[in-house]
A and B are shown apart, each in its own frame.
Chain A
Amino acid sequence: MSDSGDSDVSWIFYKDRPEWSDLTPVPENDGPKPVVVIAHSEKFEDVYDYFRAILQNNEKSERALQLTKDAVELNPANYTVWQYRRDLLQALGTDLKSELDYVEAVIKQSPKNYQVWHHRRVLVEWLKDSSLELELTRDALLQDPKNYHAWQHRQWAIKTFGLFDKEMEFVDNLISEDVRNNSAWNQRYFVMNNHHGWTDMNVQKEICYTLEKIKFVKNNESAWNYLRGVLLHDKKGISGNTIVTSFCEELYLNKCRSPYLLAFLIDICEEAIKKEETNSLYNAQRALELCQSLATKYDKIRSKYWNFIGEKFRKYQKSENI
């Protein structure tokens, strides 16, 4: 947030307010020859001169609470101001519900600021009331569906207060809106892992869901990664689930050459080699060919990487032939 204080004509400086005349402002001591100096506005300096004064006096008052609001508006990243504000809230016994409204407004203005989300979290912890958190984070995610802060807060609230009930519905909607939203796929894993659990039936359900999404957009790393995540819970690994392998082979036969498909096939081959379960489809020779086609045609930006992986299979091939 920028310091636009100088353009605010109705603003009265703290130094000109009679109700603050008892307090001596404390200027910043930046040493005799400071560097990286920010040319703050006069308003910024005035507000922080008075903030330092109340901090030094350890003044716990309503006017101090009001002052922290002005200080936060000028720099919402000042964690000391937020901390002092929290200490004031406790000392004054302020209504924390209204503080929730206030911090919600600040979050809307600065949704990618660590301090505001931290403040929110502490308030929710104090109140032991998480009834507004899903809506708050939903709103933030409507603005930016990949906002890391919002996801972090949401996961924390869900985990701490057991708010899993409708989360899968929320995730479904986000993935329907944007199948490439990696954050939403991650949240899907989070909900499965902590709430629904990886029963055999759920594993199969999630596989089917993901394959549908891959059918829709084949070149989507997020869905392919999720598929691998689900298969971590399949005892037969990535090579043993026939629904998955036949899906992949069908894609391949239908000329799909998404690097994620080819990489997946390579990993199936590798697993088969390691389990000593190679067959006519999954073996070192095929993996090597796939690496070569990725390197030369379908994923040229990673040609060195695929050649490097290919070398590994050349070695496997030699040992297979021995």
Chain B
Amino acid sequence: MNNKENTDLAHRQHVKYFMRFLNILPSSLSSHDTTRVTIAYFSVAGLDVLGSIASISLDLRSRIIEWLYLLQVHPNKENGDMSTCGFQGSSTINIDLDSANSHYRCGHLAMTYTALCSLLALGDDLSRINRKAIINGVKALQTEEGNFSATLSGCESDMRFVYCAACISYILNDWSGFNIEKATEYIIKCIGYDNGIAQCPELESHGGTTYCALATLSLTNQLDKLSEQQVDRLRRWLVFRQVDGFQGRPNKPVDTCYSFWVGASLKMLDALHLTNYSSNRKYVYETQDCVVGGFSKWPDTCTDPMHTYLGLAGLSLIGVNGLLEIEPTLNITKRAYEHLKYLHEKWASEA
């Protein structure tokens, strides 16, 4: 179980942990049935940050890539409609539907974002991505308010999907489906009286949504829309989230994932170095399972792929040895990010 004395990364165990998740999961995870792509992302990105992407055999690599592409929703064959385009999170509804109800088979922004990140980490060239269609799918999901719904078919809209839409547009290097001005307005409206940023206007400021908001502003080159005072105050709010590890809201318990969400937010505001790295590291290590691998949100609780990946990404931000550097906005490794830059150049030369 957890070893409180431990101050080393159980590197080998974490590699095995992610490899297990890439293969087969117990039926107790049935409620994750529609979000399997995110599990693939946490595992692939986790192996990447561990510097172990090569642990994925060529055969497994191609299996993951083929499986992901099966989940891409293509334009409607009859009328060419692209509003449903994107990636599904699993093949649960991967069936042929006629025009009357084809909208049930639609992409989901979080799944499209994590599928693209997984493909990038695996070194795929995205040549089978229907870029134009996916951007149209993104466009169909922006609301009047400026935020985004997750899917075309009955879903809530909030800051999480603003972020996913921004990442997709950035990765595909096409902002024609994303109204930057409206999204920025929405983000500014979500800044609270305590200077943190919430999921929707007037809700409670939250570390995760603050990350989504800041990363979006960064990806859209809009960080300068925040005044100097807003940035100073937001830095304060973020720095105050540190207890030993980080909490997501004032007076809430510390949780491993905020070492990334808050850490990356501070990094984007050039202030991560003002936090206490050793307390942060110590807390995250307390949530590490050194025997079977994985991290949990709290010490001595169940590990899961999300907290494992975000724990590692949080440790990477503070320069822990043996981990690749993370690009804080897209939440992929610099290595994967370089690959993306190469693809952008390639697309530019082809255009």
Contact = CB atoms under 8 A, between A and B. Distances in A.
A79 B193 contact: no
Contact of B67 (A2, A33, A148): A33
Contacts of A148: 199, 203-204, 206
A228 interface: yes
B94 A304 contact: no
A3 B30 contact: yes
Contacts of B279: 301
A286 interface: no
Given A3-B28, A228-B194, A302-B276, A31 B64 contact: no
A2 B31 CA distance: 7
Interface residues of A, number: 71
B13 interface: no
B23 A37 contact: yes
Given A41-B27, A146-B252, A229 B95 contact: no
Contact of B204 (A180, A186, A228): A186
Contacts of A229: 192-194
Contact of A220 (B91, B101, B200, B251): B251
Interface stretch (A62-70, A81-89, A128-136): A81-89
A307 B203 CA distance: 32
A37 B24 contact: yes
A186 B192 contact: yes
B35 interface: yes
Contacts, number: 201
Interface residues of B, number: 70
B33 A38 contact: yes
A121 B157 CA distance: 12
Interface string A130-168: 000000000000000010100110010000000000000
B124 to A, nearest CB: 14
Nearest to A122: B154
Interface in A28-45: 28-41, 44
B155 A118 contact: yes
A258 to B, nearest CB: 12
B120 to A, nearest CB: 17
A302 B274 contact: yes
Nearest to A84: B104
- Which among B63, B202, B204, B239 has the greatest number of chain A C-beta atoms within 10 A? B204
B27 to A, nearest CB: 5
B66 A155 contact: no
Contacts of A39: 24-27
A194 B67 CA distance: 49
Given A222-B251, A225-B193, A36 B25 contact: yes
Nearest to A193: B202
Contacts of A74: 30
A84 B23 CA distance: 31
A2 B193 CA distance: 39
B93 interface: yes
Given A58-B101, A186-B192, A228-B193, A152 B250 contact: no
B249 A52 contact: no
Contacts of A56: 95-97
A55 B30 contact: no
B242 interface: yes
B347 interface: no
Interface stretch (B36-44, B174-182, B320-328, B334-342): B36-44
B273 interface: yes
B204 A28 contact: no
B36 A36 contact: yes
Interface of A: 1-3, 6, 26, 28-41, 44, 48, 52, 55-56, 58, 74-80, 82-84, 86, 114-115, 117-118, 121-122, 146, 148, 151-152, 155, 180-183, 186, 189-190, 193-194, 220-222, 225-226, 228-229, 232, 263, 301-305, 308
User: Can you list the 9 inter-chain pairs with the closest CB atoms, starting with the nearest?
Assistant: A229-B193, A3-B30, A83-B154, A225-B194, A305-B274, A186-B204, A180-B251, A221-B250, A33-B63
Interface of B: 21-36, 39-40, 43, 60, 63-64, 66-67, 70, 90-98, 100-101, 104, 108, 150-151, 153-156, 192-194, 199-200, 202-206, 236, 239-240, 242-244, 249-252, 271, 273-276, 279
Given A28-B91, A222-B250, A229-B194, 19 more contacts: A30-B67, A33-B67, A35-B60, A36-B22, A38-B24, A38-B25, A56-B97, A58-B101, A75-B34, A79-B153, A80-B93, A118-B155, A155-B203, A182-B251, A186-B203, A263-B236, A302-B240, A303-B276, A304-B274
12 contacts: A30-B91, A44-B33, A55-B93, A56-B97, A58-B98, A225-B193, A229-B193, A301-B242, A302-B240, A302-B274, A305-B239, A308-B274
